[in-house]
Chains A and B, each alone.
Chain A
């Protein structure tokens, strides 16, 4: 199959076109152009599906990839080569990702046309939404770090605009700034990493970087006493941490829910946050070379567990989902860190599907009920059956219940983490990764079901308010009647479509993901076969293809159709028999059983607390811990109080002290002392000399001096100009002689 400009570019150019038209003509179009944005994403979806079909149903080979470039600009002259290529690099991972992003984004757009209807920001929302999607699609297609970074920044800008779209709300403005600034911290490091890579490789193309890794170009060089590979890998991972909201830089993501819910769905599921994990996966060989995978795993584990604990006490339905996103991103990072490459990637895909669905469901609830505080909700199951169904599927998926997608991906990650922490002979301290991972899994099941029980079960508090029991606020938002939900092509059909894909067998090929009940026959485990860590050796001297030339390399090569081989099921992604296979298998079995038990116990505790009410809810049982959690471990306070107030303001105060204390006291006051001495001297001079010579003499002298100054400092521009020219002329004259 051909990959030309004509059938690759529309993937991200169609939404860009929609962005341009909506930005300039949006107000004049019917429905402010939302149909155009949706249509453009559908076009991308069609073209992405074509690529997906070629990779998954056509070639079905692990090694198949398409890499096409064109020269963007060429500044090389003489012997120095200085040129930048742009291009596309599509492998199996990119093909899957493209289909996911465009598909999920299409459903989100479709839902948004319902959600944003009659909203004052309807038009503006549909300006940024397609641009956001196109940036993510472009990022996935990019073959180098530079164009990746451009799309990365476009996404940063779009998220800024979408979060702060309600410009009149002060909190929205603050949240958008926070998101922009926090991710910027990471971006600085990413840029630094790119420059460092450019120094070594002379190119930022993924293919060139892989080749350089295989050729050992990263070895031996050192910056600040650490090896070059570690330095670049760390820089790139710090960039990814900012974008993917990992532990110290996570503070922006929960605030990002200030924007409209479908916007959050796009940020949390399909685009923005997965970009960080994506770049970590793309640079995985560098991470391994730089030996920072343990760091990735630990950061991921801390994020996964910490966010899950915070999510337990949140009362805002969107806040729960936001923290669950953080937690799941932590799992993806654990996956990357423990070497579970394809499970980490699979978790991106499965998480995107169920998290998009969860956010859209939340949007459906919020738009229908006009309430997002869970204690004020309840009993919605009767009124919103379709939303309830979709949300329940997703909750089962995210909690890791068997047969659902979350179980497949998370279980593999946890299995590998278990192996990594206890059996791979690593530093025993790294056992913290699987421990936090499993604990987080239990908490996930608990808080997700807590959210479900509080929202859909129990009694309907909205209804009560309507009949005027009067909790003090029976006006405004509560004056709403809840209508029974009808099947609507824009409201719940997107949810139901997404809900279908929360089933595990789409990804695992088997019903449980653990080997029995095969559904797809020969292509069982297609995900595991197709996605694996890049083998850097095969990229050495990989030929470049121009756009427009016919496929001569990858297509002409008779690539073997991949077959799943249980014995080479290694966690490093490299083929070949692995002596640890048996251990890994054991770890996976233990992990699966353990995670099922943990998930069900989480659900059971939630059931006891919120349905049976036989256990006291968290808040009354552990008030101290709850306060800490509700304040998000005081992280925002830490940033504001310590980093900004103590750090920056302290620096400020220090500078002020230098200015006032040192400068004023010694320099200025010193000058005053000197002046006083001089003044005394002058007085003496005045008394003795001037008075002696005569006051008239002084007057004449002053007048004379004044005259000279008045001529020189005339304030007339032309006089200065004459001076300038004369000096110039005298200079030329002198040189000439």
Chain B
């Protein structure tokens, strides 16, 4: 029940849900939530492999770095969201097409 496969499947579900959130939602904050889910799926994979396959702690360290990077990404991403909201007064993703024209 608690083998590697179950963790990988949970991680896969998280990943897919994250991608669905990123593609379907039109709210930028919701897209950031999707990114967090994807990052978590990756981190879970690392820890699961380090527990069941490699038997050392490198996977733990890697997931710690993922958490750190997620924190940095969230900070910058949300700063961009707030700035975007100041300019456009909305956080609808389809409004963010300035670079196109």
Contacts and interface: CB of A to CB of B under 8 A. Distances in A.
- Per the CB under 8 Å rule, do A and B touch in the complex? yes
Interface of A: 713-718, 721-722, 725
B39 interface: no
Interface of B: 19, 22-23, 31, 93-94, 96-97, 99-101
B93 A716 contact: yes
Contacts of B94: 716
Contacts of A717: 31, 93, 96
B96 A721 contact: no
B36 to A, nearest CB: 15
11 contacts: A713-B100, A715-B97, A715-B100, A715-B101, A716-B93, A717-B93, A717-B96, A718-B31, A721-B23, A722-B23, A725-B19
Contacts of B101: 715
A710 to B, nearest CB: 10
A716 B94 CA distance: 6
Greatest chain B CB density within 10 A among A716, A717, A722 is at: A717
Contacts of B93: 716-718
Contacts of B22: 718, 721
A722 B19 CA distance: 9
A716 B99 CA distance: 10
Nearest to B94: A716
B62 to A, nearest CB: 19
B3 to A, nearest CB: 21
Nearest to A728: B19
Contacts, number: 21
Interface of A is mostly: helix
Contacts of B99: 715
A35 B38 CA distance: 59
Contacts of A715: 97, 99-101
Contacts of A714: 100
A713 B99 CA distance: 10
Contacts of B97: 715-716
Nearest to B101: A715
Nearest to B24: A718
A717 B95 CA distance: 10
Contacts of B19: 725
A721 to B, nearest CB: 6
Nearest to A718: B23
B20 to A, nearest CB: 10
Contacts of A722: 23
Q: Which 9 A-B pairs have the closest CB atoms?
A: A715-B100, A715-B97, A718-B23, A725-B19, A721-B22, A722-B23, A717-B93, A721-B23, A716-B94
Contacts of A725: 19, 23
A78 to B, nearest CB: 15
Given A715-B100, A717-B31, 14 more contacts: A713-B100, A714-B100, A715-B97, A715-B101, A716-B93, A716-B94, A716-B97, A717-B93, A717-B96, A718-B22, A718-B93, A721-B23, A725-B19, A725-B23
Contacts of A718: 22-23, 31, 93
Nearest to A713: B100
Nearest to B99: A715
Nearest to A722: B23
Contacts of A713: 100
A715 B23 CA distance: 14
Nearest to B96: A717
A717 B100 CA distance: 11
Contacts of B96: 717
A456 B64 CA distance: 72
A722 B31 CA distance: 13
